[in-house]
Each structure stands twice: as structure tokens, then as C-alpha cells.
Copies of this chain bind each other. A is one copy, B any other.
């Protein structure tokens, strides 16, 4: 089913995000479930918290209230063990300031390179309860940047159990086999289909 035929059948999920890369990843995964994704460019409230779930839930409630629509939001972060979870829930800000170069400098000479990417999707229907879906992928921080696909810290993250490519060396489809976001999206899609 193509996205446009899904829209005709009314199976559309509204994604509140300002990040076009996230939107493309969502569109790609949800298409496999016959769900079309509509981009809602609403600046939803984001709280400061060490919990992605808390950030995501508050955003979904706020976005849904503002738009008076059932919407989903996605919040994600890269958590590096040797840096006590940094950049974590503030990955977007930290990417904008010190970037990939800053993370590589912080990790210079550090042997323990374990890290994980985590994603939390929250869906809020003004007339229903809040639903949350999680995805996580373990991996390693590479010693140099590689690849130019994806976004954010993708060029320095190599997922475990896969080949030696970073996320930024993978196509959107390939990244979707491993990624935290794709995992959360698939859980969301299964639930969404079951209730719509």
C-alpha cells in the first residue's frame, strides 16, 4: 500500500517533529504497515529530564492539545557509557554545539567505547490514554567519523551484531534493520494498526 492510498483509507499517523530525517525514517518504516505519515511542524514543549520517556510524554500531550489531533512524537538520544550517559537526552543541543568532533575529542584515548541509542515514541489522542513505545540499539563509538547519510551522531555509531559500518554509512532501509527509532516505530505501527 502506498502512503497516498493509506491516506484515502484514513490510516494516517500525525508525526509532530521539526526533524525531516526522523520524518523520512518514520515514513519508510510505517509504509510497510500501510500507515501514511503526515508531518506536523508544531514546536511541542520539551522538558529537561534525564528520562527520554518523560520528555516524550510531555511533548505528545502538549502537541496533541495544541493541534487537537491524535499525534505521535519521538525523542531519542545517544548514551555513551564512558561519559556517564552524555550526550543523552540533550543529544540535539550537543550535536549543534560541539558536534561529532567534540564527541570524538572527548573519547580520544578512551578504551571503553560502548554506547547505545535509545528512542521513545509517545502517542497521544486527545480522547484516549497516552501510549509509549521504546527502541534501543547497543553499539560502539568509532574512532573517526565515517559516512554521510543519516543525521546527528550517526557517523560515529556502529551498531553491535551488524557489520562494521556506522549508521551514516547505511541506507535508510539498512539503518532501519538495526536502529532504535525503527524498533520503536515498528512497535508503534503494530499497536496503531490494531486500534485503528
Q: Which residues of A contact B (CB under 8 A)?
A: 45-48, 50, 55, 83-86, 88-90, 93-94, 96-98, 102, 105-106, 108
Contact = CB atoms under 8 A, between A and B. Distances in A.
Contacts of A84: 96-98
A64 B89 CA distance: 27
Contacts of A90: 48, 90, 93-94
Contacts of A108: 105
Contacts of A106: 98, 102, 105-106
Q: How many copies does the complex hold?
A: 2
Nearest to A47: B47
A50 B90 CA distance: 11
Query: In this complex, which of A86, A93, A105 has the most chain B Cβ atoms within 10 angstroms of its Cβ?
Result: A93
A152 B96 CA distance: 22
A122 to B, nearest CB: 15
Given A84-B96, A84-B98, A85-B97, 7 more contacts: A47-B48, A48-B55, A48-B90, A86-B98, A90-B90, A102-B106, A105-B106
A55 B108 CA distance: 33
* 7 closest cross-chain pairs (CB), A and B: A86-B97, A46-B48, A84-B97, A90-B90, A86-B98, A83-B98, A48-B48
B97 A83 contact: yes
Contacts of A88: 93, 97
A108 B89 CA distance: 25
Query: In this complex, which of A50, A55, A88, A98 has the most chain B Cβ atoms within 10 angstroms of its Cβ?
Result: A98
A83 B50 CA distance: 23
Query: In this complex, which of A46, A89, A97 has the most chain B Cβ atoms within 10 angstroms of its Cβ?
Result: A97
A47 B49 CA distance: 9
Contacts of A105: 105-106, 108
